[in-house]
Structure 1
């Protein structure tokens, strides 16, 4: 990806999260002079660094998949990912714990996974797993190059042979029915459909195309960076600086204005001129920065939010395994609660213990605990929940659930508790870190487009291709391609 004589010579990237860093590296690799403006004093965005009491705590994403997308950002400037980050395999990728007391270690190795399923549920479901792996890999092979890893210009850009192939793979049917066609045991149906929650839609409302997420983690594998998830940010900033990208922190952008063939990006103290601009904030925030507030029509259906508890555990935690999925009696019931604006009455939740993979995140013999409980977004009926009042009681509820699940949480160090109100206070629309939900009308070419104007683009989870670490890294590259082409035009999916 190289800039030609018609391409931009300079660019401002607004935001130093993963999307902004990906954009900066891809633009710099094309020969563009890049300045990154970040409102916070450090880089990271939704992947921040929190150190407390001798512990490094993840308070953003914890699951890393599809590391080829990360490697592409480093390769854009001629660097190798392996020279800057150490990635460790997480095996098992998850341990699923079910309401009946049974559990399942979920491996990326197909034979080990097959054996584990056979031991849990019998040969019929083990054979179903074989078919499932083949199916989700076919979905991945269709979706990644044609629907995820490319810029889309309206529905007409999907009128190609890949579309009927996706339909033939039941990509437009219901995800829960797709999963049920492979697995008879309800526990397995839960374990292989929860990934739709990553994109903000319960399995019984999600499209079958989102089974592709299972290919990303349960087939291709889960990794974890030494030093915690923020180590990704540190490495990307280090490489970007080494290649001439300029970072300016504590620079809150107030406005972006087109001036002739270029742009002026204003902060309270300075104005930056650039040939191109990429905004990595949420679309609703980006709209407030533009002279024309109608330039963007952000998506309006929020993904569910969460309550996050992260802390050090000095005495350590029993057992093994990095990522743990704890299912209640009915995953559907829990998700119905959330989408109806209620707290889960029968909770399902994620617990990660990253010190199982990287012991350096805490003192010797200690562990780091990360617990994520899905919760309603501050939208619709969920807006009626007063998290300032609920905060203490819900924390106690989480601790009781964790204790019942076997985690020793009597002594926590450096505790971080983040509720939907806290996400809201941090500027995340609807009080959710997961942006807009991937409903059918907010996915693919229907999602908020990344084109705003000539050499003016969006990146991040609120635009294409969507939510998740691999997706925001891809979004940064796609935004870079947009401004390098220099042919942006305002468009909304309703316009085709």
Structure 2
């Protein structure tokens, strides 16, 4: 057997981090990526010959990557250029209704007071304090280590921490909890949007997701070259540490003999032997049997009703006039409840909230001369290829997107751009139905349904945004960290991956949606 050989399936950020840590530990690591470049969802598309970031655009918890690089003998600052954002985002509802949030807490308080009054500003202060409390409660026992069960989580916090667990309101929806802090429906929309960071509805997601407010308050960073550049930096370091990364290598099956992993088979018939496999693929793809029946039995299916949000995105090179865009700008629809009701029923909203990332804007909103790179995104149901939206439905979505921007005065002039819809996302990420975040975080048990790194199939480990601790770039990176730690601990103890294995202490680190 190839006892120190590891195959990593997928060069998304979780797979790259796992490969980096395992190669640094001295293992023989081969990463197999069916695409032409690293990054997975951290991708760009060419529009008029210019790369436009088409995936995640917000980078928080920089220190997660600082730690990952340092643990592997490198410095993140030597590999990518980072700039802290002074303004977190601009938010708009219609003519004259505009609110910016800032890295400086007091500046945000003042902005909210000017926008909605002193009472709402005080509510924001209390909300931020509670968000910090939620984060502190969950960061150690939940995010840093292996996936806990509810009983495990209670045991980890101890008797003194049970009150903290109760105060973070795990049984209350985010939308309901926001009513304790904000009377202004626009502010409830703004902070309810944090549920969409993990592909969920604020009307069904738990109040614990208010921790996103604390995470953003700790710093948002611009990455020169976009987050796809960050993925390349991790891939480059992994290669320097000895990992082999093969692009255009599509895995057809996880090979299993006598109840344990022995390697992977590529679609061209090549067998790559290894007794440890890290699958950086959506668990829905594994559960659907796309990597073989043995892996499917070990993971279990994800039903369509459990899927997170998908999206319709438009990547453009256009001239933006009539509204002062910042790097991150959100244009809210008039009726948030109706928007998510439509998505829940499998329809595209008729008045969607639109996120626009103006990728050439400076922190103060200064624009470049000429067309600028723009990513426009609206949330959509994950109907995938089973029930694809018709061309007329997608065209109508583009029209409603344009109408929502025009409500605040924004006009985009230029070619239509490149549209990606849920069926396209399923093509990019098979087995998901186009869901971009794994399971939706609906209900207090949702986080405990995400599998951990270890599986019931000896030799198979999981990493990615669909596993613990959750979606988002830092969370996915942390999952790769946990997968590598679990694998190394099992090698040291002389055992294979299995849920029946004793729990193992994990190295530090945290993340965020």
TM-score, with structure 1 as normaliser:
0.90
2:219 alignment counterpart: 221
Q: Is the 8 A contact 2:86 2:104 kept in 1?
A: no
2:487 alignment counterpart: 483
CA 1:139–1:208: 2 relative to 1, 3 Å: same
CA distance in 1, matches of 2:368, 2:332: 30
1:384-395 → structure 2 map (5 Å cutoff): 384=387, 386-395=389-398
How far is the alpha carbon of 1:310 from its aligned partner?
A: 0.9
How far is the alpha carbon of 1:105 from its aligned partner?
A: 0.4
How far is the alpha carbon of 1:169 from its aligned partner?
A: 2.5
2:474 alignment counterpart: 470
2:280 alignment counterpart: 280
Matched, 1:105 2:136: no
SS at match of 1:125: helix
1:373 alignment counterpart: 378
Report the more deviating stretch, 222-231 or 282-291. 282-291
Q: Is the 8 A contact 1:316 1:367 kept in 2?
A: no
CA distance in 2, matches of 1:178, 1:231: 37
Matched, 1:302 2:307: yes
CA distance in 2, matches of 1:210, 1:33: 38
2:119 alignment counterpart: 124
CA 1:153–1:10: 2 relative to 1, 3 Å: farther
Cα deviation per residue 1:312-339 (whole Å; 9 max; x = unaligned)?
1257785241111111222122111111
2:505 alignment counterpart: none
2:129 alignment counterpart: 134
Cα deviation per residue 1:41-79 (whole Å; 9 max; x = unaligned)?
221211123233242201111111111222232223111
- Within the candidate set 43, 46, 62, 1:67 is matched to 62
2:440 alignment counterpart: 437
SS at match of 1:98: strand
Matched, 1:147 2:142: yes
Unaligned runs of 5+ in 1: 1-6, 492-496
CA 1:178–1:255: 2 relative to 1, 3 Å: same
Q: Is the 8 A contact 2:283 2:438 kept in 1?
A: no
CA distance in 1, matches of 2:177, 2:397: 35
Number of corresponding residues: 480
CA 1:448–1:389: 2 relative to 1, 3 Å: farther
CA 1:370–1:111: 2 relative to 1, 3 Å: same
SS at match of 1:34: strand
CA distance in 1, matches of 2:271, 2:71: 28
SS at match of 1:187: helix
1:4 alignment counterpart: none
How far is the alpha carbon of 1:152 from its aligned partner?
A: 2.1
CA distance in 2, matches of 1:207, 1:15: 30
Q: Is the 8 A contact 1:92 1:108 kept in 2?
A: yes
Q: Is the 8 A contact 2:147 2:451 kept in 1?
A: no
Q: Is the 8 A contact 1:387 1:419 kept in 2?
A: no
Over aligned residue pairs, what C-alpha RMSD do you find?
2.6
How far is the alpha carbon of 1:385 from its aligned partner?
A: 5.4
TM-score, with structure 2 as normaliser:
0.87
Matched, 1:421 2:426: no
- Within the candidate set 43, 48, 52, 1:48 is matched to 43
Matched, 1:351 2:351: no
Cα deviation per residue 1:245-283 (whole Å; 9 max; x = unaligned)?
111111111111244776211112422222311001111
CA distance in 2, matches of 1:199, 1:64: 14
2:235 alignment counterpart: 237
Unaligned runs of 5+ in 2: 501-513
How far is the alpha carbon of 1:351 from its aligned partner?
A: 1.0
CA 1:443–1:226: 2 relative to 1, 3 Å: same
1:270 alignment counterpart: 270
